[in-house]
Structure 1
Amino acid sequence: MIGTSAFLGIPHRRIATLLDAVAPEPGSSGRSAESEALEARFARAVLSTMIEPGDTDAGALMGALGPIEAARCVVDGVDAADLLARVGADPSSARQRSRLTGALERWRARGSAEAGARALEMAAHVHARLLAPEDAGWPQGLPSLGAGEPVALWVRGDPTRLERLDRSVSLVGARAATGYGEHVAMESAAGLGDRGFAVVSGGAYGIDGAAHRAAVASGHVTVAFLAGGVDRLYPAGHSDLLRRVGDTGLLIGELPCGSTPTRWRFLMRNRLIAAVSGATVVIEAGHRSGSLNTAGHAAEMGRPLGAVPGPVTSPASAGCHRLIREYAATCVTTVDEMAELADPIGAGRDAGYPEGADPDSPDGVVLSAVRAGRGGDPEDLAHTTGLASRHVVAALGRLELAGAVRLTGRGWEAAP
C-alpha cells in the first residue's frame, strides 16, 4: 500500500495524486493503490520526458528491465558497464559501452523525475490522459513497432474512443494540397466515417486538415497524432480545428505536454499513424512529400497501403504515382476501395476473430496458407495462394493486427 515511501525521489503520495488526475478512465491501473502499479506508470511518464520518439535503445532497455528498473537506472546514474551487465550483455564490449554511454547522456540531459511530475501536472491542466501499454485502450497495432513502440501515449479527448482505432483508416498527403486533393480527402473522410471507420491523420495543413474537417463536420470520430505535446496545438492555424478534433475525437502524442514539434518528431510521428490503422491511403503527394514517409512505415510493417492517382501532368500527385509504380501500393479511386483495403468483404477486424471470416476472402485464403505451414515470406504466399503480392501483404497486415499471425525469424506463422 502507499505510505510515506518515495520513487525516484518523489513521494508516493504525490505520485498517486498526480496519476489520479490523468488516469485513462475510472478504475484503471492509474488509480491503483499498489506501489508497483503506481511506480510503473510514473516511470513511463518520467521516461517519456527523457526519450525521443523511436529511440530503439530505450525500447530495448525497457524490454529487458521493465519501466521501473529502467527508470531507476537512468535517474540514479548507473553507468553503462553496470547497465550492460544487468541486461545480460557484455560489459567489456567497447562498442556497446560507448553506444549506451551516449544514450544515457542524452536521456539524462533531456528529462528527470521532477520533469515527469511536471508533465503530469501539465497534462491534468488540459484534461489529457496518460496511456500505458498495459491499458485496455492501448492501440493494438503499436507492438508491431518492436523496440520503437512508444513508452507511453498522452491522449486528449474521451479515452473510450480509443477503441475506434480498431477500425480506422489513415488519410495522409501533402501540406501544399491542390483543390483536387482536398476535395478527395474530404469526400473520403466523410465516406469512411459513414462506413464506420475512424479517420486518422496528422493535423497538418493540406490533406490532413481537409480529412479532419470533413470527419468533424460529418459527426464522425477522427484522430490526430501530434508531433509535440497535446497541449501544443500545431500548426497554429489549425488550433480551432484541433480543439474540435479533441472534443469529438482524439488528440494523441507520445511526447509529454510542453514538448515542441521538430522535423525529426514529425517523421517519427508518422510511424504511429501507419501502425494504428487498418490501412494507410495517400491522397495526394509530391515526389518528395513527407507523407511518403508514412507510406514507407506502413509498407515496412506490412500494413495495407493505397494511393489515389491524379492527373499525370500534376507534380502534386507524382508521389502517389511513384507509390503505385515502385512500391506496389493499391490504386484506390473510391471510398469503397479504401474501405475494402482496410476490411475486404467484411473479413477484417470488424468481423471479429479471423476464423469467422469468409474463407474465400483474401484474409481467409492467406490465413489458411499460413496455418498449413506455407507461410514464409509474402512472395511464397502469393505463389501458394495465387493472390497478387500486394493483396497478400495487405492481408498479412490485417491478420497480424487481429492477432491471427505473427512474423518470426522463419517468416509468417499462425499465432498461438
Structure 2
Amino acid sequence: MTGLVDLDGDADARRLAWVYLSRVVQGPCAPLSALIASVGVCEAARAVREHELPEPLRGPTAARRAVDSAAADLAAIARLGGRVITPDDPEWPAWRMLGLNQLDTDRDREAAVPLVLWARGPLSLASASERAVAVVGSRCSTGYGVQVAGEIACELAGRGWTIVSGAAFGIDAAAHRAALAVGGRTVAVLACGVDRPYPAQHDRLLAAIAETGLVVSEYPPGTPAQKHRFLARNRLIATLGDGVLVVEAGLRSGARNTVKWARRLGRPAMAVPGPVGSASSAGCHRMIREGEALLVTGAEDIVDEAGPLRLPVADDTTDPAAHLRGAEADIYATLPAVGSRLPRDLAQQSGLDLPTVRAVLVGLELSGLVGCDSDGWFRTRGRRPG
C-alpha cells in the first residue's frame, strides 16, 4: 500500500481491525488495500462493517462483513503457538512488499499486497526473507529432479540462504527437506490456513518446518485450500525470494505462474535443464528457450543471479544520493544533516506510510547511505557531529 496511513486506533484496536478485514476478504483485495491506505485500518474496518463502501468493495465484502471473528481467530492462532503479522509489526517484510505495491491490480487482482500474514515458527519473516530463494517445480517429480533440487537447496541453505517454497509434493518438499537436513532456514507458504496441513500427507514436514523455520499464509485459520488460492499464493512465494528457481516443470506446470510473478516483480527467474526428452522438464526448456528464465545448473549460478548488487561507491566530491528516486529520495531528503530521526517522524514529514519508510530505510542502509542508533536514523555520508 502507498500513501500516508493514519495510525488510527491503539495497537490492539488496529490488530483486531486487520484480522477482521483478513477474514472478510480472505485473500488479496486491491480496493480494500487502497481504502486502508486512504483512511486507516480502523476506519476501513468500520466502513466495511457498516457497508459504507465504494462500489468495487461492496461485492468482495458482502458475504462475511457481518461476521467479526477477529478475537476468535487470534485465540486460535495463539493456541497453535503462532501469530498474525500485520503491516504495523517490525516483522512485516515491508521491503519485499514494495514490489507488489508497484504492480497493476487492474491487470491482475491478485497483485495486491496481503492484508496480514498468519505464521507458525520461530523465525522472523523480515529477517528470514532478507536473503532467500524460492524453489518450485513439478509435483510429479523424477528422481533426477528431486536430487537436483535437494543438492541446490542444501548448498544454498548451507550458505545462509532461506529456501522458500509451497510445501507441495515433489520439488517443493525436496527443497524444504534439504534445507532442514543441513539446519538451514526454510519458509513454507500455504494456500490455506496454517492450521490445515496441505497436502495432508505433509503434516510431519510442515510440523518440522514450524519447529525451526516458518509456515505462513495470508488466509485465516480454518481456511481450506482452493484452486484460486494457489495462484494467489504463488505471488507471495515469488515476493519473499530474491529470485525464483524452477527444477522440473511440465508444459502446464503451475511453476510457470510463479515465474510470471517473479518477472513482474523484477526478480530473476531461473530454470534447471533436464534430459532433452523428459516431459518433466519440457516446461523448463520452453521457459529457457523463450527467455522467461535463465539457465542455471547449480547454487553458484543462482547466487550470481540472485545475490546482492554490487553498488558503485560515490567519491567524496559527488552527491551520494544523486541516484536516488521516488520514496528513497524523499526519505533521504527528510533525514537531517545533523542528528537522527525516528521512522514515525520521517513518515509524518515525508507523507509516506510507516511500513514503506521502514522498508526504504533498510534499503538505504544496505547502500551505505544511512545508519541507525538508539536515537533513530541518520545520514552516514557528509554527516556533521550533532
TM-score normalized by the length of structure 1: 0.70
Q: 2:181 aligns with which of 214, 217, 238?
A: 217
Q: 2:91 aligns with which of 137, 141, 159?
A: 137
Counterpart of 2:10 in structure 1 is 36
Correspondence 1:371 to 2:331: no
Correspondence 1:51 to 2:36: no
Q: Percent identity between the aligned chains?
A: 41
Matches within 5 A, 1:319-398: 319-343=283-307, 347-348=308-309, 357=310, 359=312, 371=323
Correspondence 1:197 to 2:171: no
Contact 2:149/2:174, CA 8 A, preserved across alignment: yes
Correspondence 1:264 to 2:219: no
**Does the C-alpha gap of structure 1 residues 79 and 216 become closer, same or farther in structure 2, counting only changes over 3 Å?**
closer
- The letter for the 2-side match of 1:371 is H
Counterpart of 2:329 in structure 1 is none
Q: Residue 214 of structure 1 aligns to a residue in which SS?
A: helix
Cα distance between partner residues in 2 of 1:167 and 1:111: 38
**Does the C-alpha gap of structure 1 residues 334 and 402 become closer, same or farther in structure 2, counting only changes over 3 Å?**
farther
Report Cα offsets for 1:187-236 as digits up to 9, x if no partner. 11110011110100001001000101111111111000010111011000
Cα distance between partner residues in 2 of 1:249 and 1:159: 6
Counterpart of 2:47 in structure 1 is 73
Instruction: Compute the displacement of 1:37 (Å).
Output: 2.0
* Alignment root-mean-square deviation, CA: 2.5
Cα distance between partner residues in 1 of 2:226 and 2:85: 23
**Does the C-alpha gap of structure 1 residues 60 and 35 become closer, same or farther in structure 2, counting only changes over 3 Å?**
closer
Cα distance between partner residues in 2 of 1:187 and 1:166: 22
**Does the C-alpha gap of structure 1 residues 222 and 79 become closer, same or farther in structure 2, counting only changes over 3 Å?**
closer
Q: Structure 1 stretches (4+) deviating beyond 3 angstroms?
A: 159-162, 357-360, 399-404
Contact 1:306/1:332, CA 8 A, preserved across alignment: yes
Cα distance between partner residues in 1 of 2:96 and 2:53: 34
Q: 1:61 aligns with which of 14, 30, 35?
A: 35
**Does the C-alpha gap of structure 1 residues 400 and 334 become closer, same or farther in structure 2, counting only changes over 3 Å?**
farther
What residue ranges of structure 2 are gaps of 5+ in the alignment? Answer: 1-7, 106-111, 314-319, 326-358, 365-386
Higher-helix-fraction structure: 1
Cα distance between partner residues in 1 of 2:141 and 2:65: 37
Instruction: Compute the displacement of 1:320 (Å).
Output: 0.9
Report Cα offsets for 1:123-171 as digits up to 9, x if no partner. 1110111111122211221232126001111110114364121011100
Counterpart of 2:116 in structure 1 is 152
Instruction: Compute the displacement of 1:104 (Å).
Output: 2.0
Of 117-126 and 297-306, more deviation after overlay is shown by 117-126
Contact 1:227/1:266, CA 8 A, preserved across alignment: yes
Cα distance between partner residues in 2 of 1:334 and 1:249: 24
Q: 2:171 aligns with which of 207, 222, 226?
A: 207
Higher RCO (C-alpha under 8 Å, 6+ residues apart): 2
Counterpart of 2:62 in structure 1 is 108
**Does the C-alpha gap of structure 1 residues 372 and 297 become closer, same or farther in structure 2, counting only changes over 3 Å?**
closer
Cα distance between partner residues in 2 of 1:129 and 1:159: 12
Q: 1:311 aligns with which of 275, 278, 285?
A: 275
Cα distance between partner residues in 2 of 1:331 and 1:106: 41
**Does the C-alpha gap of structure 1 residues 334 and 198 become closer, same or farther in structure 2, counting only changes over 3 Å?**
same
Cα distance between partner residues in 2 of 1:168 and 1:293: 19
Contact 1:53/1:269, CA 8 A, preserved across alignment: no
**Does the C-alpha gap of structure 1 residues 401 and 238 become closer, same or farther in structure 2, counting only changes over 3 Å?**
farther
Q: Residue 138 of structure 1 aligns to a residue in which SS?
A: coil
Cα distance between partner residues in 1 of 2:229 and 2:203: 19
- The letter for the 2-side match of 1:72 is R
Matches within 5 A, 1:246-285: 246-285=210-249
Cα distance between partner residues in 1 of 2:324 and 2:20: 45
TM-score normalized by the length of structure 2: 0.75
Instruction: Compute the displacement of 1:401 (Å).
Output: 11
